[in-house]
Structure 1
Amino acid sequence: MSHLREEIKNTPSRVYAHTLGQTAQEMANYQDEPVQMQSGAVGKSGYLKLRFAKGEQRSELVEMERRVPSLVQKALYWDEEMPQLPCVTMISTSGCLLQGDRQALDIIVEKDACAHVTTQSATKIHMMNANYAAQVQDISVAENGYLELIPDPIIPHRDARFITDTLIKLHPSATVIYTEILQSGRKHHHQDELFGFDIFSSRIRAQYQTEVGDELHEKELFVEKYVLAPQQDDLRAIGVMESFDVFGNAILLTPQQYHEAILSRLEAKYDVENQIAYGATQLPNKSGIIFKALGVDSPKTKVAIRYFWQIAREEILGISLQKPFLWK
């Protein structure tokens, strides 16, 4: 058991979670240590590893490692439209992200395997008066693999500081659907909660990985980064959030043969009555499609993300989505 703990401690993604905010320019003003407990201490350095492989009749979660406060439920097969798909729910035993927290996630989908990964509920980033919270996600999908990473919204509380870095590595034949929904805060809780967080920094990178003999070949596909600092910049400005409160971002990485059919079914919309706007465009290097949505609340934004997700699944797999759960 001690050997396993040491391996988890030295996992590259977990090490990076501890150094990410130290080297990011936008986090330079938030390096002070909390007085309650040192950043990244035991109980504040979560780690979760999920590895999926193809079984005889369905894909399976064949390996799981975790370190508190990260936890995960067993794989379930509740998707009636895709019964071979293991569905895994990630959980945090701490309830929310606190100042000084460092979280790392590794997801590995092996050749011909598939997986759906989500969260138990929204990720809440608590109020802070020192330091910040950091998250690193390292995602690998092998040849003909298929992954849906569809977490619930992120809710930064006022004075929250958060930085996240996501790296998606996939074979050119693989498919990854990655989504994130960012709320502006607990806008019905307190007047200072709406865009009351200090900073939210997110970077998403993707690269193709192929093996030729004993050599690993990598090709960078794109990098998207946005830094939101509402105390310094007006997020209500035209061309940013304007009158909207929720931002939805969905990235689809899939072979080029599916792009035209998906884009032809997607429409750009600005619905004043229902207060929702969305649209899609192709990613660099013909690697996939990016879809963005703006809404006044998370349910409307979730519907928009689901609209994109359903079209993508139908065109790539020939399978639709089952009806959403009432509580999701």
Structure 2
Amino acid sequence: MSRLQIKGLTKKFGSALALDRISFDAADGELLTLLGPSGCGKSTTLWSIAGLHQPDDGVITVGDTTLFDGKRVNLPPEDRNCGVVFQSYAIWPHMTVLDNVAYPLKLRRVNKKSRHARAREVLELVEMAPYEGRYPHELSGGQQQRVALARALAHPPRILLLDEPFSNLDAKLRDRAREWLKHLQREIGVTTVFVTHDQDEALSMSDRIVVMSGGKIHQIGTPEEIYHDPADRFVADFIGTTNFLDGAVETGHGNVTDVRLPGVSTPLRIDGPRPDVDAVTVSVRPESIHVYERDHHRADHPNLFPVSVVDRSFLGDHYHYWVRLGDSTLVLESTHKLSTSELHIEIPSDKACLFSADQDAQALTR
């Protein structure tokens, strides 16, 4: 079993707290992504697992093996059996592809015949066998990335650690690499911790996501949970695009809350009991907003509002429209080129998240 468990991991660099007692786990065979902005602590966490950083406190275990436990246990990197792919790939320029991949086995004193046989096996796995005699400068960026991954798999790792491995690839190649790596990870079944600041990578590849900021964990969940049910305002703002509308709680009855938006005559109705605060912020995704070019007022659709278009942009398969709703501006999506500047929008009551007006607010309607 290769279940990864991290408990209370803490790391300081001088007086700066990089990791603040974080805890999470990755199930055997799971692809877990650490996601957050630069400086959030995700790479520090990865290097702590690999043994390249020594934490100040906490526990790291893989299966029944303790990798780190405060001052009592701190296995050296070579004894942790982690396969690591660096952002820069870090493959040896003077070695052929075959020798690069076989190098971890050479360090472990595996005989030449056996290590070359294993290297060729993993090169087949990453679809690089025809290039075994080439040198790194004769490869594209995507090919170098596959060589780095093959080297990490040469000595079968208990944990695979990936530090933004696609950041040096162009957009189209990055998309292909994501799908290819996701398929490969499922095929070999290795527990994987993937570090990225790219939301699309995290959402498309992960079994679960750990959202981090300032050395702390804000939320752990599936991509769907993180996107549709953010734990706090930071997660809602960081993942994808969202609209924030400040307002005041007007009434609450049953499992419905009415929020008054500045400059809007009718309240916005949101599913969920009335919160214990008056000043709130509503979050709603652009794609959740329904757009109508004519007045569609109906009794069973309370959240219909007139808006005026102030700007738009064409994004290939859809348009973004910036519209004025009372005193607020929000962005919405449509697959159609709208012919008028006066629209009606509907905000479904079950698609809006409610936060207190505090910038660090937790969700009120989860």
Q: Could you say whether these structures have the same fold, taking a TM-score greater than 0.5 normalized by the shorter chain as the test?
A: no
Interval of TM-score (by shorter of Structure 1 and Structure 2): under 0.3
Report which of the two has the higher share of helix: 2
Higher RCO by CA contacts (8 Å cutoff, separation 6 or greater): 2
TM-score, normalisation: structure 1: 0.24
